[in-house]
Amino acid sequence: MGTGAPVGGRWRGSYGLAVAIALLGLVPNVALQTGFLPVSPLVAGDLGAAPVRVQVAEGVASAAYAVGAVVGAQLAQRVDQRRLFLGYEVVFVLASVVTAAAPGLGEFAAGRTVQGLAAGAMLISSLPPLIARFPASRLPITVVIVNVGIFGASTIGPILGGRAADAGTWRVLFAAGAVLGVLGWLAALVGYASTEPADPEGRVDTPALVLTVVATVSMFVGTSLLAGRGARSPAFWVPLLLGAAALVALLVVEVRREDSLIPARALSTQLPVTGILVASVGGAVFVAAVGLLQQTLSGAGASPGEIAALCWPMPVGVLAAAVVFGLVLRTRFVPVLVDVGLALLVAACLLLVVGGTSPSHGLVLLVGLLLGAGAGATVSPGLFLTGWALPASSLGSAFALVQLLRSTATYAVGPVVLYVATASGLMSALVATTALAAAGLVAAVLLPALSGARLRVPDIEGWLEGGRALPSPRTAVHARPGSDDDAEPLVPRPLRRR
């Protein structure tokens, strides 16, 4: 697979192929991430590795996904993204083959890590162009496709993983990833339009890259070791604290740096903070709740195939939420949608608590529907809320930070919740997950209110042309000294007149 003479003719830059490029580039790895839990015992047994070592390998692969997004944002500033995407896809295919054929844990871990790096970079080279390069009239359709195809893949993963576990094989999952990668490369070869890089002579933001690697790898390794070493072990809390410190340092450095890779200063205002919060909490609660649901059903005697069969309402829920998102995209109600999504996740977790250790099949189906709808109404809409505070041309850098924080929350919280379920019981873990969802909902309601935000119709056309879709005041400006021209009064004027 080379990246030589351009081909494609009239198909180059077409909307349909742009959609295919995004889906084929991102769906495989997302599905593999959420589908890994059911097959992890098979992987450990087949490779002759301890389960905790397999978890560490998968944790590093999840960290690599976040690192890949930041590296991809840096490269996109300097290199034509068409060439980048074609290269990333080649790397992903080769890594998938290595993973599928791995004779031992070392080859498996290397393949998964490189898969994650390539998939994270493909996020930056496929999703922002799909959103920003086409007319505003396409955007409602785009958000439905993105939501169902990309974030809906997280709901399909547990089904595929359960089926593979029931069949006693895991290698077919990664082989299928390689096949989809080849199709994605062909779609990009024909349909990806070349563009000039934004800043080919710009400086490389080395501090951002180094701190991203330290933050993600440390936190993911620490939480992956939790199950085998325990919460009191330095092998857990030392990497966790190191990663958290590196993440804070990254945000501080990027806020202070004038030519920063990540526009952290603009992303610290109300709209991005709310969007990142919603996407992070929504993703973390979904992954944790699905893991607990699988553990609950397994403890009740269900086989992996039976568990997979009960997960079909999740993609249905994502589809419903995606359609609603497309319908309300050009209205003032997207912030309301994310609040509803968090409320659905709270309801799903509460039902799991009520269902106890032996929930009925009807209850499980309802929980799956609510989890899918909650994920679909939070993660993707949260990304758009974040991006609306910046010009559409800056989506790559914005999405890099969102993906970094969202991945950290999603795939670091999951192992902690599963550890709590093992150490303190399923009910304790379910209550903790419910509390996280509820806290996210309260914060998503209070932050806009304390920041003087109001429900407004987004200016999609102006956003695509280089402006902001919505005003984004200073976060919680009414709870601290200072003012902001974008902030409305804490109490609406009509109410104050009364």
pLDDT tens by residue, 272-288: 999 999 988 998 899 88
Please give the average per-residue pLDDT across 4-21, as a whole number: 73
Question: Residue written as tokens 């309802």?
Answer: 366
pLDDT of 404 higher than 90: no
- Report how far residue 470's alpha carbon sits from residue 455's, in angstroms, rounded to the nearest whole number: 9
CA-to-CA separations, 229 to 62, 63, 95, 123, in angstroms, rounded = 20, 20, 29, 34
Judged by DSSP in three states, 301 sits in coil
Beta-bridge partner residues of 269: 474
pLDDT mean across residues, the chain: 86
Q: What pLDDT digit, counting tens, does each position of 350-386 carry?
A: 999 988 778 888 999 999 999 999 999 998 899 889 8
Q: State residue 199 phi and psi, 5-degree precision.
A: -150, 75
Angle at Cα 405 formed by Cα 38 and Cα 375, nearest 5°? 55
Q: Which two tokens stand for residue 5?
A: 């003479």
pLDDT of residue 482: 65
Encoded amino acid at 272, one letter: P
Highest mean pLDDT among 83-97, 127-141, 392-406: 83-97
Which range has the worst mean pLDDT, 34-38, 195-199, 240-244, 445-449? 195-199
R_g of the chain computed on alpha carbons? 22
pLDDT of residue 7: 47
Which residues, other chains included, contact 221 with Cβ-Cβ below 8 Å and sequence gap of 6+? 56, 59, 60, 63, 239
Please give the average per-residue pLDDT across 180-205, as a whole number: 85
Q: What pLDDT digit, counting tens, does each position of 422-468 carry?
A: 677 788 888 888 998 999 999 999 999 888 888 899 999 999 888 88
Boundaries of every domain in the chain: 13-191+205-470
Which residues, other chains included, contact 408 with Cβ-Cβ below 8 Å and sequence gap of 6+? 66, 215, 216, 219, 220, 243, 247, 280
Q: Which fold has domain 13-191+205-470?
A: Growth Hormone; Chain: A; (1.20.1250)
Is 334 within 8 Å of 321 (Cβ atoms)?
no
Highest mean pLDDT among 42-51, 212-221, 396-405: 42-51
Is 398 within 8 Å of 341 (Cβ atoms)?
no
pLDDT of 3 higher than 50: no
For every residue of 165-196, DSSP letters joined together read HHHT-SHHHHHHHHHHHHHHHHHHHHHPPP--
CA-to-CA separations, 92 to 25, 176, 270, in angstroms, rounded = 9, 12, 36
Question: Residue written as tokens 């994502």?
Answer: 318
pLDDT of residue 146: 83
For every residue of 215-238, DSSP letters joined together read HHHHHHHHHHHHHHH-TTSHHHHH
Instruction: Give this prediction's pTM.
Output: 0.86
- Report how far residue 310's alpha carbon sits from residue 440's, in angstroms, rounded to the nearest whole number: 27
